[in-house]
Structure 1
C-alpha cells in the first residue's frame, strides 16, 4: 500500500474568496454613489440609454489576485502572486492555457509517451524567439528546471513545477545524487525527454510558472535582478517595461514574439499595467483606475447588482473550489461512527439559504464535488436533500429526534482568516438543530490548526464532528479532479471503525508508535541499535513485513499493481539492503545508533506533526490487514488516478472516489465559489483564475473592441 500519511509542508496554498476585511458598508456605498455620478458626466461616457460606452484603448490596468496581493519578484521558481503574469503573459511554456482556459500547446508542437506513462518526450517548434531574438530551445527549459531543482536553491518551490514528478529530482534537490542522475535529458535543441518517478499526466504541470523556460545568460549575469527591465529577456507575448517590487509593473508587447500557429496567442493591448489589488476595487473601476476589477465583498456585489449600468459589465466564472462539510477524523467514539447518522446529516442540509443569505449570492449551490461544466459533475450520485428521510435514518440508528447524540463540533476558520467561515457554520448549526435536533458547538481555529484538521490526518484534541472544509487545487492536474474529496482518503487510519482509527492514531500523535517501540526498540535510547542483537531484531521484523507486502501486492488488481510496482524503482528489499549495509559499515557505537534509527524509521511509524505521519512497513502491513474493502478500493482508485494518463480513465476513477465520499457521508458539499469581476465596456479576453491565488490571469488575451 502506498505511504499515504506523509505530506510535504506547504504543499497547498489555500485561498478564501472573501477573506479580507471589508470597508464599512455605508462608506462603501456612499463612495460608490459619488463615483458613479462622477463617471457619467455627459455623452462622451454614456450612451442614449445611460449605459457606459465603449472607448477602445491600447493600455489597461489590472489588479493582481486578491486584495493585498503584490509581486516582489518574477522568479517562476517561487510560489507567489507573480505566477499570474509569469505563466503565459511574460513567459511561455511547452503548454499553456488557451482563450477558453483549456490546455493547448505553446512552445511544444507535440509529445510522445512511453507505454508505461513514465517517459515523456516533447518536441519544440523552431520559430519561437526570446525577446532578444535568440531561438527558444530545449536547453532553456533544461536550464530553468534544473535551476529550480538545484540543491543550491533549497527554498525554491520544486513541488510547484513539473520537476516534482521527475525521477531523482527531489533526491538531487536534497543533495543526494548528481545532476546527471535526474530524469531530464536534452535530446537535441528541439527535443527534451523527462523520465518520471511514476506514471503521471504532466501536461497541466507544463502550464504552471515553475515549468517556464529561462534565458540562462541573463539570469547568470544578474542572479538577483534578471527580471528587472534592464536585464529581462522573456519569450512570452509581453516583456517588462518597468517594475517596482510590491508596486506597479508595466508590461509592453514583445516585438520578437512568435506565437503558436492555429490559435489566438495575444490580444491588441500594447501596454498592461499590473498593480496590487486595491481595497476599493469597485470605486477604482468607476474612476477608471482599473480596467477590470474582481468583486470580493458582498457589499460591492450588492451594489453592482442594484445598478443596471454596472450589472451589464459584470461577469462570473466558476472557481475550482467546493466548500463542504468534512468529517473531522476524530478518534473519539461517537454516533458519527454510524453511516446512517452521517447520511442523515448530509440529507438535512439545505444549501440554498447559505448561498443566498450568508454568501449574498457570491457562490453557487452544489451537492457534488463539482459544478456545471466540471468533467465529473454528472457522474456523481450525491445524497438527496431530504429532511424526512434524514429523520428516518436518525431514528433507525437509535437517535430519534437527535436524542442521545452528544454535542458535535463544527470547526471553521476565524473571522480574521475568513469572514464567511463562522456565518456558514452558524447556518449549519441552525439547520441541524431545527431539522434533526442535533446540537453543535462552533470552534473557530487559526489557519494553521484549521489546515491541519482539513488537509491533514489525525490531530490531537479533535472532537467528533465536522470541519467547514474546502480549498483550491494549485493547477490543472488529474489529481485535482476530485476537488479535494480525496482529502478524506489520503491519510492512513482516518476512516473505519473506532478501534482501527485509535490504532492508526499511534502513527500521528506520539513521537514514535508505541507498538513499534515495544517490538523494535526505542530510537530515543542512545544505546539502542549498537549491538548485533538489536539489529537482528529489527532485521527480522523488516524482512517479515517486506515478505507480507510483496505477497499482498501480487494479490491486487492488475492496474493497481502497476502503480505499486514501478519498473526500475528501488523495491522495499533493495532499500532494506541499503540500510543493512549502512549499519554494518558504521564502526562507532554512535554511528551504529544513527544508522539503526534511520532503518527503524523505514520499518516503524513516527509522527510528522501537524496532522501528518510517516507510515513505515509495519503500518502499511497493519493497514492492509485491517482496512475495510470499500476504503481499500478508494485508496486504490486514488493511487491509480495519480498514475492516469487518459482523461476518460481519470474521470471514471474520480467519480468512484467522489461517490465513495458522498455516499458514506464523509463529505457533504455545500457550495462552489465563483469569481465575479467587472470589465470596462469593449474590453474582452479577461480570464478569472480558477486555481490558486485567484484573481485574473492570462492577461495576454485582453482585447479592446
Structure 2
C-alpha cells in the first residue's frame, strides 16, 4: 500500500453500529448566497497513475482515493468517519450475530440510470473471491461462510454465504459474529459492480468510456498518466447532499513541482510537502497535519540473501536511526516505529501500542554483533550485495539515502538504491523481485487486525515470502474471539511472533501533512484514507 502517526495519536475508534437509516449528515451551507455562482470544482494531486479503478483489483491508497468517490457499498462513512447505511436502506441482524439481511435502496442506481440490485452485490463479492480474478484483498471476505474455501479452490461459489434473495434483498452469512462488520463493509473491496457491464466487457475499468459506478460521482475522463476527472452522479440517491460538482486529480510526482502548482493555484490541495518547505509552511493557516493509521516500513525478502537470516534482518532494523528520519526528513510529527501496529487503538487495558510497547531498540553495537553472528551461521565471509528499492518520490528517495548512509556508517554495509514508478513498483514487489523494498500499510479501519493481516502467509500483500503458522493461527483465533480483552491479547501474541522473526523493518508511524486552499470548506480528512471531498464547498474565488 502506498504512504500509507503523530507523537501521541488521538484516534477515535469508529463507532461500531448496525443501526439502520442513519444516512449522511446534511452539509453546511457556508457561504450562503455568495457561493451560488461559484463553480464547485476542486483539483487534487494523485501523484501517480491509479494502478486500477476496479474495486476488486485495487490494493493501493491512490486507486482507493478515486474509487471511494465513485462507488458506495452497503455502508458508507459520514463526515465523522462513522459507518452508516449507504446503498442499503435497512439491515436486519440475526440473534446469533452471524446473518445480515440487507435491503437495497429503491432509489439506488448506477451512473447510467439502471437500478442497483442485490444480484450486483452477489456478483461483485463472488467475483472478488473467484480465484481467477486474483483479487489481492479477497482475504478480507474470509469472515464470510465458505469464502476462504472458494478463494483457495477448495469450495464452490454456491457454498459461499452470499446470496441475493430477490432484486432488493441481499443476505450474508458469517462464520462467526464480527463486531466491526459494518466498518469492514465501507472498504472498496465490498463495493458492487454492475454485473451486465463486467460480464460483457472485461476491460470495463480501463478507461472512462463505458465506466459505470454507483456512488456520488461518475468517471468522465481518464487521461492516463496525466489526470482523472469525475463529476457528480445525478443518479446517486443522495445527490442533494453532495456539494462538489467536479473533482480532478492531476498526476504530478515531483514534490517541488506540485508544491509550486499549489502556490500558483493549479492545485487546491496537496499532501506530503517537500521537506525543505515544511518549516516555513507550519505557520500557514492552510497547513494541516493529521493522524494517519499506518506504518512506513522496508519489506525484507526472506528468500533472498542476506535476509534469509533472522539475525541479519534484526541487525539492519537496529542500525537505523528513526529519530533522525522523522526529525530531519519527514518533519510532520511521525513517531518512530519499533513495532507494526500504530498508536490509536483503544483497548480495555489502554492504547494497543502503549500496552504492547517496543520490540527492539536502536543499538549499533548489538547490531554489529548480530550481523557477525548471522554471517557466521550462513558461512559468509562477505555479505551478499544488497539493493534497497523504493517507488519514485522525493521523500522516499531522501529516506532511502539516509538509510543507505546509516547502514554504511553503523554496519559497514554498502547498499545500492533503485527506484521505479508506482505501478511498475507494485508489480515488481508483487513478484517478490527484491531484497529490501519500501512499503506503507494503512488500516482500512482502526483495528490491529487490519494492520497485522498484511503478513498473513496467504495474503497477496505479503511480498516477503515469510510464512509463520503460529502467526496465522493466532490471527485466525483473534478473528472469531468474542471477548474483546482476549481478542487483543491474541493480537499482541501475533505481533510478538511477527516482530521476533522481523520479515520487515518498521520505520515510523504515519501522519499526513497537507496544504489546502482556504477557498474550500467541508473537506474531511479520514485517519485511514486521503481527503474526502464529497461535502466540500468552494466559498470563494
Report the TM-score range of the alignment, normalised by the length of the smaller protein: 0.5 to 0.7
Give distance in 2, aligned partners of 1:371 and 1:701. 28
Is 1:357 the counterpart of 2:328? The answer is yes
Deviations 1:15-66 (A, max 9, x none): 357xxxxxxxxxxxxxxxxxxxxxxxxxxxxxxxxxxxx999442233353x
Shift of 1:681: 0.2
**Correspondence list, 1:104-119, <5 A:** 104-108=84-88, 109-110=90-91, 112=93, 115=96, 119=98
Task: Give TM-score, length-normalised by structure 2.
Answer: 0.67
C-alpha RMSD of matched pairs (Å): 5.3
Shift of 1:700: 1.4
Deviations 1:99-120 (A, max 9, x none): 24454432344453685x7x54
Given that residues 163 and 172 in structure 2 are in contact (C-alpha distance below 8 angstroms), is that contact kept between their aligned partners in structure 1?
Answer: yes
Which residue, out of 121, 144, 157, partners 1:141? Answer: 121
Give distance in 1, aligned partners of 2:499 and 2:168. 47
Which residue, out of 374, 388, 397, partners 1:413? Answer: 388
Given that residues 520 and 538 in structure 2 are in contact (C-alpha distance below 8 angstroms), is that contact kept between their aligned partners in structure 1?
Answer: yes
Match of 1:295 in 2: 272
1:110–1:15: structure 2 CA closer, same or farther, 3 Å change rule? same
**Correspondence list, 1:31-50, <5 A:** none
Which residue, out of 309, 315, 340, partners 1:369? Answer: 340
Shift of 1:334: 11
SS of the counterpart of 2:276?
Answer: helix
Structure 1: any 5+ residue segments left out of the alignment? 1-13, 18-53, 492-609, 616-630
Match of 1:187 in 2: 165
Structure 2: any 5+ residue segments left out of the alignment? 5-34, 347-351
Which residue, out of 135, 151, 155, partners 1:157? Answer: 135
Deviations 1:441-464 (A, max 9, x none): 42547789999999999x99x8xx
Deviations 1:344-363 (A, max 9, x none): 87666542112223445584
Shift of 1:94: 0.8
* Rg comparison, structure with higher value: 1
1:61–1:649: structure 2 CA closer, same or farther, 3 Å change rule? farther
Match of 1:285 in 2: 262
1:198–1:644: structure 2 CA closer, same or farther, 3 Å change rule? same
Match of 2:58 in 1: 79
SS of the counterpart of 1:323?
Answer: strand
**Correspondence list, 1:519-534, <5 A:** none
More helix by share: 1
1:166–1:60: structure 2 CA closer, same or farther, 3 Å change rule? same
Task: Give TM-score, length-normalised by structure 1.
Answer: 0.54
1:114–1:445: structure 2 CA closer, same or farther, 3 Å change rule? farther
Match of 1:562 in 2: none
**Correspondence list, 1:64-75, <5 A:** 64-65=45-46, 67-70=47-50, 74-75=53-54
Match of 1:129 in 2: 108
SS of the counterpart of 1:700?
Answer: coil
Match of 1:207 in 2: 186
Which residue, out of 8, 12, 15, partners 2:2? Answer: 15
Which residue, out of 517, 536, 539, partners 1:702? Answer: 536
Given that residues 250 and 273 in structure 1 are in contact (C-alpha distance below 8 angstroms), is that contact kept between their aligned partners in structure 2?
Answer: yes
Give distance in 2, aligned partners of 1:335 and 1:248. 41
Given that residues 359 and 420 in structure 1 are in contact (C-alpha distance below 8 angstroms), is that contact kept between their aligned partners in structure 2?
Answer: no
1:639–1:284: structure 2 CA closer, same or farther, 3 Å change rule? same
SS of the counterpart of 1:357?
Answer: helix
Q: Matched residue pairs, number?
A: 483
Given that residues 112 and 212 in structure 2 are in contact (C-alpha distance below 8 angstroms), is that contact kept between their aligned partners in structure 1?
Answer: yes
Match of 1:471 in 2: 440
SS of the counterpart of 1:140?
Answer: helix
SS of the counterpart of 2:70?
Answer: coil
Match of 2:415 in 1: 442
Shift of 1:633: 5.3
Is 1:95 the counterpart of 2:75? The answer is yes
**Correspondence list, 1:526-545, <5 A:** none
1:658–1:144: structure 2 CA closer, same or farther, 3 Å change rule? closer
Give distance in 2, aligned partners of 1:162 and 1:335. 29
1:187–1:421: structure 2 CA closer, same or farther, 3 Å change rule? same
Shift of 1:679: 1.0
Is 1:306 the counterpart of 2:280? The answer is yes
Is 1:243 the counterpart of 2:206? The answer is no
1:675–1:318: structure 2 CA closer, same or farther, 3 Å change rule? same
1:104–1:255: structure 2 CA closer, same or farther, 3 Å change rule? same
